[in-house]
Amino acid sequence: MSLIYENENIKIEVETSEIPWLKIFTQTPYKEMSEVPKSIKFEIYECLDIIEKEMLAYYQAEKINIASFGNYMPHVHWHIMARFKEDSYFPEPMWGEKQRESNLDLPSFEDFLQNLKEALHG
């Protein structure tokens, strides 16, 4: 996984996948969202909003999935995924049952990340 953004409160990483998939982690390993200070919660939600808007604008995704589980990793983190009718799992979650073989022809992920970095720093 590669780190694309980091500050004293959060970090954003890439999840390797056939779809655009990012994860936001708190720097402090809080177990539950209710433990996260309000200012960091607002920062997380601001990043979720920016990432979702950038994914929709750049990829014209069918749907953006946002999830927070933490069952295996009890550290607050959020998954943000651009979903497409043609991806291998749609409409199932990416952790669900594979529906088909897929060969998505998506725009450059590197260009998307550059756009996103500019939006996050803007």
pLDDT digits (tens, 9 = 90+) for 26-78: 999 999 999 999 999 999 999 999 999 999 999 999 999 999 987 777 899 99
What is the token pair recorded at 7?
A: 């500050």
pTM, rounded to two decimals: 0.94
Q: Which CATH number fits domain 2-111: 3.30.428.10, 3.30.2130.30, 1.10.3720.10, 1.10.390.10?
A: 3.30.428.10
Q: Where in the chain are the domains?
A: 2-111
The answer on pLDDT for 1 being more than 70 is: no
Dihedral of the alpha carbons of 30, 31, 37, 43, in degrees to the nearest 10? 80
Give pLDDT tens digits for 83-99.
Answer: 999 999 999 999 999 99
